[in-house]
Structure 1
Amino acid sequence: MAESTIWWLLAGTAVAVELLTGTFYLLMLAIGLAAAALAAHAGAGTSVQLVVAAVVGGGAVTAWHLLRPRQPAGPASANRDVNMDVGETVQVDAWNPDGTASVRYRGANWTVVPFAPGTAATGAHRVREVVGSRLVVEKI
């Protein structure tokens, strides 16, 4: 069996394991293994292939680690990437004495509370956060 075939099988195995575990770093290592396979196709020796796999795979892991965001953009309840309701608009017609209001949103009745206490006003509001079954809103 050719050396390049072994490298391709290792790269495919790394991708398959990544699909099973969800560890994105394995894809970066698979890039290094694929680079080693290409080096084998080019006729490089085994030691050069190992160095290519280590440098390309390690470099890809390092680059991904440095480029990925450190922290999510706030808690999941207020993150638009996690919660599709954040940033949407609702119409508040009247506020209750307890500081809540009921609005019709996405075909259901929702309880809304103002983002800043004492700022309850009628009209259009933007959803800032979803806490349980309540929408935390701010006036637009």
Structure 2
Amino acid sequence: MEESTIWWLAAGAVVATELLTGTFYLLMVAVGLVAAALAAHLGLPMTLQIIAAAIVGGGAVVAWYLVKKRRPGDPSARADRSVNLDVGETIMIESWNADGTTSVKYRGATWTAIHRPGVTPSTGMHRVAELVGNRLLVDPV
């Protein structure tokens, strides 16, 4: 069996594994294996084929890691309006307790609301920023 065939089979096996696990990084490794297969087609020795696989595959993994690291993360489910319909709603706060909580009537029930750490509590209209357990985290409007 030719060296290029072995590289192509390895790349196919890695792609199949990626489809089963959902790990995008395995696709980057498969790209490195494809580079090794192309090096084998060019008639390069096994050492250069391995080096091509390592440089291209490793470089692709590092590049994808850096791209993914720069992207802002998905918002927390606690603060996502499509998950919690309460996020973005406004409530009226009339007073705060000494422990930084307050009780508010919202949707026909009494809820405990809290403010963000470092924010001075104030009365008036507030917007629900996220749900923390069964408490509403609010920001002044």
TM-score, length of structure 1 as denominator length = 0.65
Structure 1 SS opposite 2:124? coil
Q: Is the 8 A contact 2:112 2:136 kept in 1?
A: yes
Superposition pairs of residues 104-123 of structure 1, within 5 angstroms: 104=107, 111=111, 113-115=113-115, 116=119, 118-122=121-125
Q: How many Å separate the matches in 1 of 2:25 and 2:133? A: 34
Structure 2 Cα separation of the partners of residues 97 and 35 of structure 1: 64
Q: Which residue of 2 aligns with 1:92?
A: 91
**Residue ranges of structure 2 left out of the alignment (5+ in a row):** none
**CA displacement 1:38-61 (0-9 Å, x = unmatched):** 223344333322111011112122
Q: Are the structure 2 counterparts of residues 53 and 82 from structure 1 closer, same or farther at C-alpha, using a change threshold of 3 Å?
A: farther
Q: Which secondary structure does the structure 2 equivalent of 1:11 belong to?
A: helix
Relative distance call for 1:100 and 1:55 in structure 2 (3 A) is same
Within 5 A, what are the aligned runs for 1:49-128?
Answer: 49-69=49-69, 80-83=75-78, 84-85=80-81, 88-93=87-92, 95=94, 99-104=102-107, 111=111, 113-115=113-115, 116=119, 118-122=121-125, 125-127=127-129
Instruction: Extract unaligned runs of 5+ from structure 1.
Output: 74-78
Q: 1:89: Cα distance to partner?
A: 1.2
Percent identity between matched residues is 43
Distance 2:65 2:105 in 1: 44
Larger radius of gyration: 2
* Equivalent position amino acid for 2:53 in 1: A
- CA distance in structure 2 between the partners assigned to 1:135 and 1:42 by the alignment: 63
Deviations 1:14-73 (A, max 9, x none): 233334444443232122112212223344333322111011112122333444428x86
Check if 1:28 corresponds to 2:23.
no
Contact 2:114 2:135 in 1 (8 A): no
1:125 to 1:29, Cα distance in 2 relative to 1, 3 A: same
> Structure 2 counterpart of 1:125, which letter?
R
Give the count of matched residue pairs. 129
Q: Distance in 2 between matches of 1:18 and 1:135?
A: 40
1:81 to 1:6, Cα distance in 2 relative to 1, 3 A: farther
